[in-house]
Structure formats: C-alpha cells, structure tokens
C-alpha cells in the first residue's frame, strides 16, 4: 500500500501545506495590519517570510514555525467556516493535472503492484491518473469521508485498486483540515487503515507525519502480532531529519521485527520512475506517451552579435571546475559538531564534513591527522566526489560550499557570515578601488540605520550552491546585511533593507548581477580554498557567463 501526502501533488500544480501556511500568514498580516497584500506578495523572499513570521510570533496566539499543528491553527483562524475552507481548497486545487508520478502509480496499480493508495490530499490526481491509464472511471474504487461506512468491507474484500481519502476531497461534505477535525480522524477509516496494515506493507511518500490522528493509527497498527508484513518504508526528501513522530514510529516498528526504514529520495516523480523500471514487464503505454508529449528544454546557443530578445538573465554562474577528490578519514568520532570541535581544538586550518563514509576534509595531511589522531584513525585515504551525487544537499555538497566560500573570501577581498543555506559575503574594505563600480550602482556601501547608530548596514551578496541542468551553479542575491541586529531592532532593519531594494528594478538588478558575477569570477582563473602545497586543496573555476534563457528562434 501507499500513503500519499501533499508532497506527491506538488508537481501536479497543487500547493502543499507549507505553501498554504505562508498564504495564511500573508492574509493575516495584510488584513490585521490593514496594508496592501502587494507589500508582502513575494512569499519566496526570505525577508518577507521573516516579516510575516515576526508578526505571527508577536501575536503569541499561534504555534511556532514548523509546529505540526501550525497549518491547522492558521487555516482555522483565516477561514473559521467549513464552507469557506471547502471553497478555498476547491480554488487551490482546480487546474491541477496528474504528474508522471501519479500516472506511474496508476500504471503499477493496473499491474497489480499497488492494491491500495491512502491519501491525505483533497485533490483527484490519483483518480484522474487511473481514468487515463485504465481508460475508464470505474476501475478505481474511491472511499471518502462520506462513504466511510463501506471502507472496512471494501478493503477487506480486496476489491483492488482502492483509493481512500482520509481527509475527504474538495467535493466532500466533511473536510478535515483544522486542529479539532484532524485530532479526531474518522473512526471507521482509521480502523480500516489499521486493519489493512495487518495484511500489507506500506510505503509513505510526500507526507510529513504532522497529523497526530494518522500517526496514532500507524502506531496502533504495531500492536498486532504481525504488522506491516511486507515492511514499512518512509520516503523522505531533503537533508533535514524527519519529524520525531516519524523517527519514533520507524524505531518502534524495527523493535517489533518489521523491516522499516527511512529512504532518501529526490522527488515523487523520480522514485516512481525508478520503481516502474524495476517492475519489469508491465504495460507503460500511457507513461511513454506522457513523456513523449512533454516539452523538452535544452541549453540555448550563446548569443552573438546584436542581442536577441527576450532574454532572461539569471543570477547564477556555472561551476566549470570543482574538486574531484578530498581526504577521507575513518575514525571513532561523532557528528558534525564533534568534528568541528576537534578541528578547533587542534588549531588547524581544515575544512570538514561528516558523512556515512567518514570524515571528509580539505587541508594539509599533517593538519588533518592532528585533528583526528586522538580518535583512532582506522583509514586515511582519498574520497572521490562524483558529480552525479551533488544534485541534492549532502555532506559532499556542503563541503564544496564551504570550500568555494573560503576561496572567494581569500581571493576576492570579502568577509563571510553564514546565514541559513546561504553565505553572506561583504567587502572587507569598501574603500578599495575594486568596489567603486558597486558604489556607482547603489551609492553608499555601508552606514548606520537612521535612528539606531548601533545598527550597521553593509552592501553584500548572498551566495549558495544549487543544482540545475545537470550541473552545479553559484547563485548570487544582492543583499543588505546588518551588524548589531537584535530582536528589538529587527523590524527596523527589515524596513530599511526593503527601502534599499524596492527601487532596484531590472536595469539596476542587471547591473548588480553583472558586477557581482564579474567580481567573483574574475578572469576565469582557478580559485583555491587553502592555497596549500601538500595535502588536498579545493580548486574551483567559475564560468564567465551568467545563466540565461530565451525562446528558441527568438
């Protein structure tokens, strides 16, 4: 069986609960502060998110950011009426179309590989995909809240394939999406889920585990003598650990003798593509047609002569050359905090990351040994950094990020401060001639915020690594950074940063990206993180042209 959450519908054009959370915060802020929603329209902007979160935290009546009940609490506040919630859900999911993953799921259903799909989603993506794959709408039996009376009977009779909508769908008279409603999952559907786990294994995908009602049902299933006879596998994206409830469930399942594991994936579509390939001889006619009909994107040719418009310029430069090896140390040491402390105590200049393979490092061999020799080095070797593993956040990619930032700081006259997934780079001496072109674009490069002489601002650029078009890119985002920021003056800093950036339209942003890309890339020469003669150094070379896109033939 499969249990599908909102993450499986993201590529189908359906917003996730996380997307909705920020929409709810935006609506609360705009309505209660009586400001135009346009002021906080860019929900992907970290500054806007901080502003909205600061307002929500100040209200002291909502769960903290990331709390499992945050979505339900905000939804109930913004839309107290069930009818309004139904209308909102209806509007948000209309227009969605089944993705490759949904069609692959339906294909595996038709092949008898997936008997039941449980879902917390309100949309009809599974049903729509089955209608396309089966060629009719009668093959799939869908059970929702309004038909929960028959859930036990249908599941028990093995009337496959079956879709069970645990929270209803947008046409249901009873939607479950607020705290009180989610707390008391429909008893009959819950009972059917628990009983089904006595007969079948379960794969969970796109679901965070935030609903206590469903997590309680999965935990209750472990009370049976032989739960999940074919295993319990939780598919997980990203590098952040899953919620504690998920980890607790998997540990409890393993103690019960269940084959249970957290499985790292890239996306729902990608994992379904792999499973279809592994399934062997099954009919993939609809899948093949779907792939053939999709638009193909290719790298555009380099513009020559008179500019061709329209052209979209991106704030990214490619990494033309990256390290292919680093040092690997296998020893008896803990996680990242422990290896960082070991390096600091040894007083050596070594860049490190912690992975399952061991401690990965750039630095002089003598320095690396000095940092970890007290932990019983069992293996001291080279580790290959394969490019095809860098598509996701990992210890290897984190090590490359640290090394590239060190190289930029060392070679380009910058200072660095880490901020979340980005590194904030600031001119070490803004009075140097190298920064005059930047001053001509934005004016002053540093100063104090009016009304707060202790709050210092500086013109900066936030950089991070990202993966696209089968390669790594250095992303650049011009920013205003601050020193001396506290909880009391945070809103003042946010307002000041917004005032500095609000008038930076296309031409100014183009000039800013042009400056930073030119300054960071230089003449295309190699950039060395440590400039050492022995050991393993990290060597990079950035591409000379920022990423761009244009319609073929334009």
Q: Is the peptide bond before 161 cis (omega within 30 degrees of 0)?
A: yes
- For residue 344, what pLDDT is reported? 95
Domain limit, last residue, from 93, 123, 146: 93
64 and 115 fall within a common domain = no
Positions of the chain with pLDDT lower than 50, given as ranges = 169-175, 181-185, 554
- For residue 240, what pLDDT is reported? 73
136 and 272 fall within a common domain = yes
* Mean pLDDT score of the chain: 85
- For residue 148, what pLDDT is reported? 54
- For residue 186, what pLDDT is reported? 62
129 and 226 fall within a common domain = yes
- For residue 500, what pLDDT is reported? 87
Structurally, how many domains does the chain consist of? 4
81 and 125 fall within a common domain = no
Residue with the two structure tokens 């993506």: 125
248 and 313 fall within a common domain = no
- For residue 184, what pLDDT is reported? 46
Structural domain including 89 reads: 15-93
Is residue 260 in a domain? yes
Query: 110, 283 in Cβ contact below 8 A?
Result: yes
Q: Would you call 438 exposed, middle or buried from its count of C-beta atoms within 10 A (0-12, 13-18, 19+)?
A: buried
Cα R_g (the chain), whole angstroms: 27
CATH number of the structural domain spanning residue 337? 3.30.70
d(CA 262, CA 242) in angstroms, rounded, equals 9
């Amino acid at each position: 069986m499969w249990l599908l959450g909102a993450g499986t519908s993201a590529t189908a054009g359906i917003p996730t609960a996380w997307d909705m959370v920020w929409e709810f915060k935006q609506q609360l802020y705009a309505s209660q502060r009586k400001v135009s929603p346009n002021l906080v329209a860019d929900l992907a902007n970290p500054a806007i998110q901080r502003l909205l979160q600061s307002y929500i935290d100040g209200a002291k009546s909502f769960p903290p950011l990331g709390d499992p009940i945050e979505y339900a609490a905000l939804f109930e506040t913004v839309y107290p009426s069930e009818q309004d919630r139904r209308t909102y859900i209806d509007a948000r999911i209309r227009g969605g179309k089944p993705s490759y993953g949904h069609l692959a799921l339906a294909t595996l259903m038709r092949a008898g590989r997936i008997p039941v799909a449980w879902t917390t989603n309100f949309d009809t993506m599974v049903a729509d995909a089955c209608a396309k794959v089966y060629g009719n709408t009668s093959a799939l039996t869908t059970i929702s809240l309004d038909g929960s009376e028959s859930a036990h009977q249908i599941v028990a009779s093995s009337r496959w394939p079956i879709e069970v909508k645990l929270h209803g769908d947008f046409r249901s008279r009873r939607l479950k999406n607020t705290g009180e409603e989610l707390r008391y999952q429909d008893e009959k559907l819950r009972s059917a889920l628990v009983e089904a786990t006595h007969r079948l294994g379960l794969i969970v995908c796109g679901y965070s585990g935030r609903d206590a009602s469903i997590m309680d049902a999965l935990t209750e299933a472990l009370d049976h003598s032989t739960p999940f006879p074919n295993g319990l596998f939780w598919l997980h994206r990203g590098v952040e650990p899953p919620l504690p409830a998920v980890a607790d469930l998997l540990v409890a399942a393993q103690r019960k003798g269940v084959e249970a594991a957290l499985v790292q994936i890239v996306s729902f579509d990608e994992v379904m593509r792999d499973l279809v390939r592994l399934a062997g001889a099954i009919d993939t006619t609809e899948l093949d047609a779907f792939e053939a009909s999709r638009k193909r994107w290719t790298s555009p040719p380099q513009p020559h002569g008179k500019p061709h418009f329209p052209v979209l310029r991106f704030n990214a430069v490619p990494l033309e050359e990256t390290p292919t090896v680093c040092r690997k140390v296998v020893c008896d040491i803990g996680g990242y905090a422990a290896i960082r402390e070991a390096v600091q105590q040894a007083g050596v200049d070594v860049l490190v990351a912690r992975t399952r393979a061991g401690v990965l490092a750039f630095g002089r061999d003598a320095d690396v040994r000095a940092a970890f020799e007290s932990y019983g080095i069992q293996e001291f070797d080279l580790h290959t950094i394969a490019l095809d593993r860098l598509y996701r956040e990992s210890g290897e990619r984190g090590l490359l990020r640290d090394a590239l930032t060190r190289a930029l700081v060392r070679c380009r006259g910058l200072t660095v401060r880490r901020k979340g997934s980005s590194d904030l780079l600031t001119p070490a001496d803004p009075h140097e001639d190298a920064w005059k072109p930047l001053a001509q674009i934005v004016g002053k490069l540093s100063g104090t915020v009016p009304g707060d002489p202790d709050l210092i601002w500086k013109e900066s650029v936030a950089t991070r690594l990202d993966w696209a078009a089968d390669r790594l890119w250095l992303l650049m985002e011009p920013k205003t950074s601050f020193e001396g920021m506290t909880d009391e003056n945070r809103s003042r800093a946010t307002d000041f940063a917004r005032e500095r950036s609000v008038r930076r339209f296309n031409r100014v942003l183009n000039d800013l990206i042009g400056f930073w890309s030119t300054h960071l890339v230089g003449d295309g020469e190699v950039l060395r993180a440590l400039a050492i003669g022995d050991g393993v150094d990290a060597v990079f070379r950035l591409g000379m042209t920022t990423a761009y896109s244009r319609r073929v033939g334009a």
